[in-house]
Amino acid sequence: MELNAKVYVAGHRGLVGSAILRALENEGYTNLVYRTSSELDLRNREDVLAFFEKEQIDYVFVAAAKVGGIAANNDYPADFIRDNLLIQTNVIDAAYRSNVKKLLFLGSTCIYPKFAPQPLKEEYLLTGSLEPTNEPYAIAKIAGINMCQSYNRQYGTKFISAMPTNMYGPNDNFDLKSSHVLPALIRKFHEANEAEAPSVEVWGTGNPKREFLHSDDLADACLFLMKSYEDSEIVNIGVGDDISIKELAELIKDIVGYKGEIVFNSTIPDGTPRKLVDVTKINGLGWKAQIPLEEGLRSVYTAFQQEHLIKQ
C-alpha cells in the first residue's frame, strides 16, 4: 500500500474507523478520503457509486456499520440487519465497479455459532446456530464476508475480511442504552462514584467471559493485513485471552476508584457464554496485539473523564 495511494476509511468517526485513520496518519499516509454520514449516506446506492466514481480510490477500509450492545440489538433488529446490509453492499459493489485495488471488510466475532468450541477458529463459521440477541447483525456480517469472497471468485477482486473480537478505545460509545459492556461499565462506575451511590448494577450473572482488544491494536492489525494478506478466507483479530464480566467490573471499579458494591442482575440475559477467538492464524502471519487490558482501560477512562468534563 503505497504512501501516496488514495485510501478511503468508511466510518472514520467511529471507534474502529478513527483508530484506522490515526494509524494511517502515523505511518505517513496523506491522501486520505472520508465522509461523515451527513455528507454521504452509505445506505444510498446512487450516492455511494457517484462518490467512488468521482474519487477513484485505491484502498478501502470498511469500518462503517450500525453497532450496539445487547439492548440495542434486541430493540432494533430490523435496523441492524437492514442498515448493515445496505452499507456493506453499496461500498463493496462500488469498490468493484471503480476498480479499487484492495478492500478490507471488518466483521465481528459474533458471526460464530453461540456454542462453538473455544477458542473460536475461523473454520467454525456457519457450523451452528447464532446467538439470538444479535443474530440480525451477525447475519448481515456473514453476508458481507460471502460477498467479498464471491466478488473475488467471480471478478478477481482483492477483498479481504477480518473478524475483530470485542473492541474498546477512544471514541467509543458510552450511551447506556446502546453501548457495549465495557464502555457501559466505565460510565456506570464513574457516575456512581461521582454520586457516591451505594451500588452499581451490572447486567447478567457476571459469568460470561469476553476478550477485549484495544482499537489501536486493531488498526495496526488492519494495516498489517492490507499490506500482506490476500486470501479470501477470514482472519480473526484478537489478543488470545479473555476475562469474565465479573472480573472486568472489579477491574473497572478499581480504576475508577469506586468504593460501593457491585450487584449483578441475573434477570437480564447473559448472551454468549464465552467468546474467545483463536489468533493462531494472524499470529502466524506475523502480527500480535501489544496493549495490555489494564493499561488500555486506564487510558480510555482518562479520555472519558476529559470528555466528560468538556461536556459539563
137 is catalytic: yes
Q: Does the annotation flag 66 for ligand binding? A: no
Cell of 168: 474498546
Q: Does the annotation flag 28 for ligand binding? A: no
β-strands 166-168, 243-244: how paired? unpaired
Q: Does the annotation flag 108 for ligand binding? A: yes
Q: Does the annotation flag 15 for ligand binding? A: yes
Q: Does the annotation flag 180 for ligand binding? A: yes
Q: How far apart are CA 80 and CA 212, in angstroms?
A: 22
β-strands 32-33, 243-244: how paired? unpaired
CA-to-CA dists, residue 242 to 120, 166, 273, angstroms: 12, 10, 12
Q: How far apart are CA 200 and CA 263, in angstroms?
A: 6
Q: How far apart are CA 220 and CA 291, in angstroms?
A: 11
Return the H-helix or E-strand segment holding 159: strand 159-164
Q: Does the annotation flag 188 for ligand binding? A: yes
Q: Does the annotation flag 107 for ligand binding? A: yes
Q: Does the annotation flag 141 for ligand binding? A: yes
Cell of 86: 445496505
Q: Does the annotation flag 101 for ligand binding? A: no
Q: Does the annotation flag 203 for ligand binding? A: yes
- Length of the chain (residues): 312
Q: Does the annotation flag 106 for ligand binding? A: yes
Q: How far apart are CA 161 and CA 226, in angstroms?
A: 10
**Which of these is catalytic: 112, 137, 168, 258?**
137
Cell of 92: 463493496
Q: Does the annotation flag 169 for ligand binding? A: no
Q: Which residues are annotated as a binding site for substrate?
A: 188, 203, 210, 270
Q: Which residues are annotated as a binding site?
A: 11-17, 106-109, 141, 180, 188, 203, 210, 270
Q: Which residues are annotated as a binding site for NADP(+)?
A: 11-17, 106-109, 141, 180
Active site residues: 137
